[in-house]
Amino acid sequence: MDLSRFSTPQRISGIAIVVVAVAAFLPWVSVFGFGVAGIRGDGVITLVLALVGGVALAVRTGLLPQQRIPARAGLIASLVCAVLVALIGLLDMNGAAAIGLYLTLFAGIAWVVGSVLELKDAKTESGAAPQA
């Protein structure tokens, strides 16, 4: 796979999406050595959001054939998914939080940063004056 087609914000988002998907299967809560995986609760939601964000990223970068979805709409959908993942990680945080929940929170924040940077780059490119 040729990773040169990805911009830095897209790489940040892509790595964060993978971390969110993996973190859904890790323990989110641990008490006295017993843990509960995120997939048994809100991890299902974050996993679905990561899959949606991954498909949106794949369509934007050309890994999947271009569908009838405008790139900007896919970028906004990815940003909304990222914000939701970060909020779920933040709201679920508690004193018994385990590695999966921490990874979800930090990867969600990184995904938001990557999406915002990519949206900023898209605005800069679309607002640039044409070369004469």
Reported as a single tens digit per residue, the pLDDT across 44-61 is 999 999 999 998 888 888
**Mean per-residue pLDDT for 55-81?**
80
Backbone phi, psi, residue 56, to 5°: -60, -40
Strand locations in 1-132, DSSP E?
A: 27-31, 34-37
Sign for the CA dihedral angle at 55, 58, 61, 65 comes to negative
* Cα separation, 95 vs 114, whole angstroms: 28
d(CA 115, CA 109): 10
User: Which of 5-19, 44-58, 69-83 is the least confident region?
Assistant: 69-83
Mean pLDDT value across residues 90-101? 91
**CB 85 within 8 Å of CB 49:** yes
